[in-house]
Chain A
Amino acid sequence: MSDHNGTWWIWKVFWILLVITGVEVALGIIKPEFMLTQVIGTSILNILFIVLTLIKAAYIVQIFMHVKFEKKGLKYALYLPTLILIPYLTFILLTEGSYLFQ
């Protein structure tokens, strides 16, 4: 792309992904006591894992898969179905599946 010079931006994302993964693995091994407090049905640690995962996913999609530099039309065509359907699928399966617990 004309708006990138060299490959530093690729390596920057690589280091970000590596550091986040390192933090995740370290937290997974140590499991700090204070992070095991239960909030909204799971522990703070699990919520942190999910947030870190979404950050990693955003970097992969935006930079590696180049969506950040695409036209607005393509961005909407990709983001809208994903961001509407996946949370909807998760929500409907987890709430409607609650009869399994009875």
Chain B
Amino acid sequence: MASSAEMTQEENNWGGGSRPLGSRYGKLMMWFFLLSDALTFSGFLTAYGLMRFKFESTWPIAENVFTHFPGLEGDQPLLYVALMTFILIMSSVTMVLAVNAGEKMNRKAVTNWMLWTIVGGFIFVGSQAWEWYHFIIGDSGAVETARQEILHIYNDEGERLSFSQVIHGMEEGHASNHGETFSKAEVLAAMKSNEGMYLMEPGKAGAAFTHETSVAMLEAGDVVQGANMIHNEYGQKQFANFFFFITGFHGFHVFSGVVINFIIFYNVLLGTYERRGHYRMVEKVGLYWHFVDLVWVFVFTFFYLV
């Protein structure tokens, strides 16, 4: 045994004594993994910021892109993503409650809170799938010029028109195409017949074109509906690529988090940690799950708010 004077000295070594980090191997490794993952995500988000600054004037505004809410008609900007954020924060809270119950060796409470965390994770991944689906099938449709620029159709009152409204008229058409596809010939004919329609660049400071130039541009170009890696009706292609990549990478983290949570939940049910005498595994997956929430906080800000 060391003398008490030596002990005090040791304890003072950065506060952890002979175990300077005061943490077990598994937890430490989880932390270092999360650290490297944080750097990866910050690289992605910074690259997004760089591209966005480059195309600032015509970059799609997220609240004009993600406007749907299940079961509600019309424009509901930010509401759906706010709900997703709420669900993820909530499942992070149930995770802390699970870890907290684990420290008290309360198996029933750990089981209960782990289950809620898994449910929250599932709802989040499902919501993201729904949002991807709507992003991919598209909303209003757009014209892509021969120079691969995206332009949106407006009428003489300055209202943004969907293809449905361009072709079926303002009364009959829907503000969203609702999965209906339109050909270039149909849109071109409708545009030619209405002098008031013109094309405008998306974004905060997009330029508008005259009716004649607009018709000529559509004749040389094509119509696009929805978004994928090659075409993006909302504006800059880069926007869709970054959206798929960053929310996809985050969504994969959520998905793998749900799988890992499920494995731990199953072990809790089997009583593995009760026999082991501690619930440190729950703490470790808890760290991963909070990290997923942490990343979403940043994705939410930089993709949807800023």
Given A60-B290, A65-B290, are A25 and B89 also a contact pair (CB < 8 Å)? no
> A33-74: contact bitstring with B at CB < 8 Å (1 yes, 0 no)?
000000000100010011011001100110111000011111
* Residues of A with C-beta under 8 A to B47: 93
* Residues of A with C-beta under 8 A to B16: 71-74
Once the chains bind, are A70 and B23 in contact (CB under 8 Å)? yes
Once the chains bind, are A74 and B53 in contact (CB under 8 Å)? no
Report if B123 contacts A (CB, 8 A): no
* Residues of B with C-beta under 8 A to A7: 97, 100
* Residues of A with C-beta under 8 A to B50: 93-94, 97, 100
* Residues of B with C-beta under 8 A to A71: 14-16, 20-23
Report if B304 contacts A (CB, 8 A): yes
Please name the residue on chain A nearest to B16 by beta carbon: A71
Once the chains bind, are A90 and B93 in contact (CB under 8 Å)? no
* Residues of B with C-beta under 8 A to A50: 301, 306
Given A46-B306, A70-B23, A93-B50, are A76 and B100 also a contact pair (CB < 8 Å)? no
Once the chains bind, are A74 and B301 in contact (CB under 8 Å)? no
Please name the residue on chain A nearest to B36 by beta carbon: A81
Q: Nearest-CB distance from B253 to chain A (Å)?
A: 15
* Residues of A with C-beta under 8 A to B298: 53, 57
* Residues of A with C-beta under 8 A to B28: 74
* Residues of B with C-beta under 8 A to A97: 50
Q: Give the segment of B77-85, B140-148, B150-158 that binds chain A.
A: B77-85
* Residues of B with C-beta under 8 A to A89: 39, 42-43, 46
* Residues of A with C-beta under 8 A to B39: 82, 85-86, 89
Once the chains bind, are B305 and A49 in contact (CB under 8 Å)? yes
> B25-45: contact bitstring with A at CB < 8 Å (1 yes, 0 no)?
000100100010011001100
Once the chains bind, are B89 and A21 in contact (CB under 8 Å)? yes
Q: Nearest-CB distance from B260 to chain A (Å)?
A: 16
Query: What separation, in Å, do the CA atoms of A11 and B92 have in the docked complex?
Result: 11
Given A49-B305, A53-B297, A90-B46, are A17 and B89 also a contact pair (CB < 8 Å)? yes
Please name the residue on chain B nearest to A90 by beta carbon: B46
* Residues of A with C-beta under 8 A to B297: 53, 56-57, 60
Once the chains bind, are B82 and A25 in contact (CB under 8 Å)? yes
Given A1-B103, A60-B297, A71-B22, are A28 and B31 also a contact pair (CB < 8 Å)? no
* Residues of B with C-beta under 8 A to A11: 93
* Residues of A with C-beta under 8 A to B124: none
Query: What separation, in Å, do the CA atoms of A13 and B46 have in the docked complex?
Result: 28
Report if B49 contacts A (CB, 8 A): yes
Query: What separation, in Å, do the CA atoms of A52 and B5 have in the docked complex?
Result: 46
* Residues of A with C-beta under 8 A to B78: 25, 28-29
8 contacts between A and B (CB under 8 A): A29-B78, A50-B301, A53-B298, A72-B14, A73-B16, A73-B22, A93-B50, A94-B49
